[in-house]
A and B are shown apart, each in its own frame.
Chain A
Amino acid sequence: MSKAVWGLFLREWRIASRVGGGASVGAVFFLILVAIMPFAVGPNLALLAQIGPAILWVAALLATLLGLDRLFQGDHDDGSLDVLVNSGLPLELTVLVKCAAHWAASSAPLAILSPLFGLMLGMDAGPLALVAVTLVAGTPALTMIGAIGAALTVSLKRGGLLMAVLVLPLTIPVLIFGVAAASAASGGVSPLAPPLIMLCALSLGAIALAPFAAAAALRHVRD
């Protein structure tokens, strides 16, 4: 079973990182979202530094969701989803492995790149690694919640916008604690530990529960 899991992970990783996978596009999208903020609010570095954690988190949220609508759709279109459903592997585990591979290929690079973008937003260089840690702690929850939306809209031709409408309300708690943790990390007055612990709890809870919802959606919605 572990061999099958590892094989599936490698397959998903290769699909995500090769041509047509969209993992690198997510990172570029992240860069663009950060780059348009100074045009929207003005190039005042003090202001940008203040709202920097919020910009990084909103950009990470949108970049994660952007890539997620194809999580099951490609497999649904070419029929390999049927193979995955009928393989011996529990569908919940399949969902979890696909999400893990997607996170490793798409969301982890965002967290790694975030200190660079934080510098561009005028944030203090010292605590930027901690801001990246909050992204590492919180983005698994975004991926897992997004997987539910991706499973629900798997049979739709253009499900991307609908998926964002369905999923974004559910990601707001993650955003609240993520921004709170990132603000605390980059020199806020409140302590970092409580929001960071809540963020980890949200991610762990999503990893534990979301595969069941997403797998149920795949079973019911796939015709």
Chain B
Amino acid sequence: MPLRRAELGATQHVMAERSQESVNYILSGKGLGSPLPAGRGGDKTPQMVNLANPTAFLAVTRRALPWLAAAATALFVVGLWGAFAAPPDYQQGEAVKIMYVHVPAAWMSSFIYVVMAAASLGTLVWRHPLADAAQKAAAPLGAGFTFICLVTGSLWGKPMWGAYWVWDARLTSVLILFIMYLGLVALWRSIEDQGVAARAAAILTLVGVVILPIIKFSVDWWHTLHQPASVFRMGGPTIAPQLLWPLLTMALAFTLLFVVLHLMAIRNEILRRRIARLTMLAAAGGDALSRRLAAGGSGA
């Protein structure tokens, strides 16, 4: 939420006064939405459901994040224990263990794109104030999970297929997804005005949604090397239950890991914008303001 240009054009004197008020406003927690309910039990009141308010979002996530992180850790412990306790595959032997990282990462790579597409709709249609932060924070995470998926798949492919990389339909479409994540990050980094960057990235994200059905059905349309779906398919999964439950646990753990990282990244983005705004105000307001910031800046 940058200052309007007209405000920047005002005289120095008026600027100082006005920005002094703005800083008081921001520091009191009002500048970025309505103030928090006073009571600690405020999260049961309807206002707290309104996560569009960045201040409320910061408060809720501050309390929720430790629990989510703990749950993710517990699921990783259980899932990895189950993965290593599971019997080896009759054909692949112990190499099948890579599946417990590869498959959840592959699911996440598509899931994160869906999250980004939903956030893009939030930016363009509903003008949700946190949607562009959510979209921006998700793009590098999506690139990361897709990278994990590609690397583990490559390491799995060497013993099974005899090559680190084949130009198979599934592999190629996931590689394109990876490039699209990088393109979105590049777009965010190329446009200086964050509002313009948010809308451009949102449009590009929605255009790129066409990649998702291509990835999903690539194994059915082109009968190449990668195996078709074996968990979410008509007629139930074809994986043995002893191998399946650790896989689903790991998928849940990966999802929670993404949620934790995503919430942390959105929090950082909100704080980064506040700092940018305060810096602009400080630059406009001069010395008196700097002293005020030095005294009370930690409250932001």
Contact = CB atoms under 8 A, between A and B. Distances in A.
Interface in B119-162: 124
Given A165-B186, A166-B187, A170-B207, A152 B214 contact: no
B61 to A, nearest CB: 28
B203 interface: yes
A221 B207 contact: no
Contact of B183 (A156, A169, A216): A169
A152 B176 contact: no
Contacts of A193: none
A47 to B, nearest CB: 19
Q: Which of A169, A220, A221 has the most CB of B within 10 A?
A: A169
11 contacts: A148-B203, A152-B203, A153-B200, A159-B190, A162-B190, A165-B179, A166-B186, A168-B179, A169-B208, A220-B203, A223-B193
Given A166-B204, A213-B203, A155 B180 contact: no
B196 A220 contact: yes
Contacts of A165: 179, 182-183, 186
Interface in B150-197: 176, 179-180, 182-183, 186-187, 190-191, 193, 196
Interface string A7-51: 000000000000000000000000000000000000000000000
Nearest to A145: B207
A172 interface: yes
Classify the interface of chain A: helix, strand, loop or mixed: helix
B226 interface: no
Contact of B208 (A153, A162, A168, A170): A170
Contact of A172 (B176, B183, B196): B176
Contacts of A223: 193, 196
Contact of B199 (A168, A213, A221): A221
Contact of A217 (B182, B203, B208): B203
A170 B208 CA distance: 7
Nearest to A216: B203
Interface string A181-219: 000000000000000000000000000000001001100
Contacts of B196: 155, 220-221, 223
B124 to A, nearest CB: 7
A173 interface: yes
Given A162-B183, A166-B183, 8 more contacts: A153-B190, A155-B191, A155-B196, A166-B187, A169-B180, A213-B207, A217-B203, A221-B199
Classify the interface of chain B: helix, strand, loop or mixed: helix
B203 A169 contact: no
B199 A220 contact: yes
Interface of B: 124, 176, 179-180, 182-183, 186-187, 190-191, 193, 196, 199-200, 203-204, 206-208, 210-211, 214
A156 B189 CA distance: 12
Contact of A220 (B124, B176, B180): B124
Contacts of B176: 169, 172
B71 to A, nearest CB: 35
A221 B196 CA distance: 5
Q: Which of B176, B190, B208, B210 has the most CB of A within 10 A?
A: B190
A169 B187 CA distance: 14
> Which 4 A-B pairs have CB atoms at the shortest separation, nearest pair first?
A220-B199, A169-B176, A166-B183, A152-B200
B191 A156 contact: yes
A170 B210 contact: yes
A156 B190 contact: yes
A49 B44 CA distance: 72
B179 A220 contact: no
A148 B207 contact: yes
A137 B186 CA distance: 31
A148 B206 CA distance: 12
Contact of A221 (B186, B200, B211): B200
Interface string A126-139: 00000000000000
Nearest to B181: A169
